[in-house]
Structures are given as structure tokens and as C-alpha cells.
Amino acid sequence: MKIHFLGTAAAEGFPNSFCQCEACAKAWELGGKNIRTRSSAIIDDVLKFDYSPDSYMQALRDKLNYGRLEHLIVTHTHADHYNPADLFCRVEGFAHGLRHPLHLYGNDSVMSKGRSALGRFDSSQFVFHLLRPFQPFAAGDATITPLLADHDKFETCLLYVIEKDGKRVLYGHDTGWFPEATWEWLKGKRLDFAILDCTHGYTSNNRNPNHMGVETIFEVQRVFREEGVLAGDGQIAVTHFTHNSGLLHDDFIGIFEPAGILVAYDSLVVHI
């Protein structure tokens, strides 16, 4: 599998273009991997997780042809993760030569907002798939299982495990410490790659709710090892960073690299 990180920032981006804090000022000055857009990733160029307001810019930056997209899998409907109205750009008249629909997957809120924005187009353009936690589904040649997140008490936010070509990957944000039902499902699953939420930076809680931070990531790594969740050569990658952590890319490298944890950045491509 090819995993392409399109964006690695939390909701406000990093730097936040309105912000006057030291971390944002330093990110502007240093540039490079410190410039982060809203979080998303794409698998093998055809399966995309979330559709942020930065999706168009990310396609231009990384020279991606979204006409190849077949599956859009949405974690939740917060504005930095799901912008369905922008998908009108793929309908005939705005786009030409598309020969397949885009399949959209997600919870009830994803379906409602997607149908509100796009429901006037027929199934040759968009096909909607309502998901339930822990009920696997096929997306092309991948099998995907939605897992429960701990992120928003008013929405059933989802994480996803994708199985393809003999590999198993967890797309694991936005969430804090996983709900018990998710931990139970993960036990012994042997992930080859786990993408985790590191929004908070340092906190005083190693099992933080809503979003993870540095301490929570290390606690997840510990439990993954104890419960046999990671394969022998499996790796954790961290993403979804906020300027409120006060930490820049090299700071995250210094924290996580000694533990063998990969710090994602915009445009990073990983092959597993």
C-alpha cells in the first residue's frame, strides 16, 4: 500500500494564518515541514480519508488527479474533515471524462450533509454508504472496518482499519484514548501501520479524551506492544498537529524518533 499524507494539521492549520503566537511565527520563518494543512490521507491514489477545505490546494501541490478517486471515507463531519459541497467540482460540466461514481462512506451525519450538498446528482456521480461501527465493508479490493472514536459526544466519529494486499493499516484520528470496544477489536490484530492523533502536544494525562497528546501516544504504543496490536515490524505515525502544542517539526522528531515513531508531514509518502 502507498499511504500519501496530504495534510497533517489540526482544524486551524499550522501556522494558523490569523495567529500571532510564537509557534506560528516560527513555522512561517522556517517553512518546509513546519507548514501543515488540514489532515487527510490517500491510499494508492484511489481511496481518500476525509475531504478537508484544503483538498483542492493539496491536489495542486502534490500533482494529484482526483479523477482517479473511487472511494471517500469520512471520519466525522467537523469542518476541517468534511467539505462535501466542494465535490460539485467533479460533476459533469465542471469535470469531463469521468467514467465511475465516487463512493462516499460514513456515519449518519456524513450521509445527511453529503446528500444535502450532492443528493440532486444521480448515482452515476455519487453513491452513499451508511456505516456502522465494527461492521466491515468492501471498497474496491480493500476491506475496511469502522471503529469507534472518542472525539465528539454528539456524533458517532469513526476510525478505520483498512486491509489490502496482505497489509493492515489503522487510520486513527480524530480521537483521544480509544473506547473499550475499539481496544477489544484491536487486540491481536497485528497492524502493519497505525496513524494516530497527536493534537495536544504535552499534557498531564496519558489517556487523554477527545484528542491524543505526546503522553497518550506513548501509552498507546505501550498497550499496542502488550496486546500484540502491532506486527513485529509495524510502525506508528503521528499526525493532526496544532500550533497550540508550541512544538515544531524538529521538536516532534526529537520526542518521537528515539521511540521509533514516525512524525508525518504534508506530502509524505510511505510504502508498506
| pLDDT 10s digits, 30-51 | 999 999 999 999 999 999 999 9
Average pLDDT (75-91) is 96
CA distance 230 to 272: 13
CA distance 200 to 240: 9
CA distance 178 to 159: 10
Average pLDDT (7-27) is 98
Question: 6: pLDDT confidence band, cut at 50, 70 and 90?
Answer: very high
Asked if 245 contacts 202 with a C-beta cutoff of 8 angstroms, the reply is yes
Q: What pLDDT is recorded for position 265?
A: 98
Q: What pLDDT is recorded for position 181?
A: 98
Q: What pLDDT is recorded for position 10?
A: 98
Question: 120: pLDDT confidence band, cut at 50, 70 and 90?
Answer: confident
Average pLDDT (109-135) is 95
Question: 119: pLDDT confidence band, cut at 50, 70 and 90?
Answer: confident
Q: Is the pLDDT of residue 211 over 90?
A: yes
Please provide the DSSP assignment of 176-209 as one string. Answer: SSPPHHHHHHHTT--EEEEEEE--S-S-S-TT-S
Asked if 1 contacts 164 with a C-beta cutoff of 8 angstroms, the reply is yes
Identity of the amino acid at 103:
H
**pTM across the whole model:** 0.96
Question: 204: pLDDT confidence band, cut at 50, 70 and 90?
Answer: confident
> For residue 239, what are the β-bridge partners?
197
85 closest CA partner among 40, 63, 55, 107: 55
- Mean pLDDT score of the chain: 97
Number of structural domains found in the chain:
1
The C-alpha cell that represents 46 in the structure block: 484511489
Q: Is the pLDDT of residue 173 over 90?
A: yes
pLDDT over 70 percentage in the chain = 100
CA distance 102 to 65: 14
The C-alpha cell that represents 212 in the structure block: 491524543
CA distance 168 to 76: 21
Distances (CA, A) of 203 to 32, 71, 128, 215, 248: 26, 36, 39, 7, 16
Average pLDDT (103-117) is 97
CATH number at residue 114: 3.60.15.10
- Residue ranges making up the domain that contains 223: 2-271
Q: Is the pLDDT of residue 122 over 90?
A: no
Residue 231, by phi and psi: left (phi above 0), alpha (psi -120 to 50) or beta?
A: beta
Question: 166: pLDDT confidence band, cut at 50, 70 and 90?
Answer: very high
Rg (CA), the chain: 18
| pLDDT 10s digits, 218-236 | 999 999 999 999 998 999 9
Distances (CA, A) of 207 to 25, 66, 74: 30, 37, 24
Give the list of residues 6+ apart from residue 177 with CB closer than 8 angstroms, or none: 150, 207, 208, 209, 212, 216, 219, 220
